[in-house]
Amino acid sequence: MAGAIRCGETRLIDHVFLMKRRPIIAIDGPAGSGKSTVTKLIAKKLKLLYLDTGAMYRALSWLMIKESIDYKKEKKLKNILKNISIVFKSNTNSHQDVYINDYCVTEEIRTQKISSIVSKISSIKEVRKFLVEEQRKIGESGGLVAEGRDIGTTVFPNAELKIFLTASIDERAKRRKSDKNSKDSQEIDLHTLKELIKKRDFEDSSREISPLIKANDAIEIITDGHTINEVVDKIIDLYNDKIPKETEIK
């Protein structure tokens, strides 16, 4: 927040900075809404840190399968979570790699096997508590754009700009099918892919803790019929309106 005093046309004092951290943009929405592509581009253009919270839920799901962790045993799970570290590192292609306990899982977390269990894992109270804390640590000093399902409602409820990105189910399934990062999607027929997305939408929006819902103060953008650049430009315009350059903490 910044304040300035004006007397008519004259500015009497310069801005008083009350902002404790750099701004945060929260981008939530269902699978295939274009969140990842849009969020990455915004991070690049606005020089913000990019936080893919879905990758954290996916990495944890990967580890649960790999180490045959019985996630239904709450106490045991709590102890396991204490020893888990998830970190993002920039790789040589200026993309991010995600590591869980030193395993690089960037590619493996994009398989249908992980997509089919991640909603279940992400509905567990202990898992959400652990990952939300990790995400808040990453965003402590701001300067980031985070994408997920509960960023504007739970992780960063004070984010300066909240976007709820969505698109019709047909559009989302088509996008997933042509998404090179979504490992198995190319092999699944469009109808099945649509059903799988609908199932995940239902699980993500009907879970008890932090379901996928639009925050009251989020701006909804329906991306059907819009190019990625149009959506990115719109969000950047909204950001510049909310956070004039002169008020930003460097």
Site residues, ligand DC (CB under 6 A): 31, 53-54, 57-58, 118-119, 122, 148-151, 200, 204
Q: How far is the CB of 159 from ligand DC (least distance, A)?
A: 13
What are 9's two structure tokens? 């046309």
Which residue's CB is nearer to ligand DC, number 31 or number 42?
31
What are 205's two structure tokens? 């929006």
Q: How far is the CB of 214 from ligand DC (least distance, A)?
A: 14
Residues whose CB is less than 8 angstroms from the CB of residue 23 and which lie 6 or more positions away in sequence, other chains included: 48, 142, 143, 159, 160, 161, 239, 242, 243, 248
List Cα–Cα distances, 2 to 213, 242, 244, in angstroms.
Answer: 30, 11, 10
DSSP 21: S
b/e burial code for range 181-191 (CB count within 10 A of at least 16 → b):
ebbebeebeee
Q: How far is the CB of 126 from ligand DC (least distance, A)?
A: 13
Which residue's CB is nearer to ligand DC, number 179 or number 248?
179
Q: How far is the CB of 153 from ligand DC (least distance, A)?
A: 10
Which residue's CB is nearer to ligand DC, number 182 or number 232?
182
* Rounded CA separation 126/130 (Å): 6
Put residue 249 in one of left, alpha, beta given phi > 0 → left and psi -120 to 50 → alpha.
beta
Which residue's CB is nearer to ligand DC, number 58 or number 194?
58
Radius of gyration of the chain (CA): 19
Q: Please state, as a whole number, how many other Cβ atoms lie within 10 Å of the Cβ of residue 73.
A: 11
Q: How far is the CB of 151 from ligand DC (least distance, A)?
A: 6
Q: How far is the CB of 19 from ligand DC (least distance, A)?
A: 24
Residues whose CB is less than 8 angstroms from the CB of residue 147 and which lie 6 or more positions away in sequence, other chains included: 27, 28, 29, 35, 36, 39, 51, 52, 53, 54
List Cα–Cα distances, 208 to 110, 123, 125, 179, 211, in angstroms.
Answer: 25, 7, 9, 30, 6
Which residue's CB is nearer to ligand DC, number 11 or number 136?
136
* Rounded CA separation 175/186 (Å): 10
Which residue's CB is nearer to ligand DC, number 205 or number 240?
205
Q: How far is the CB of 88 from ligand DC (least distance, A)?
A: 14
Which residue's CB is nearer to ligand DC, number 195 or number 246?
195
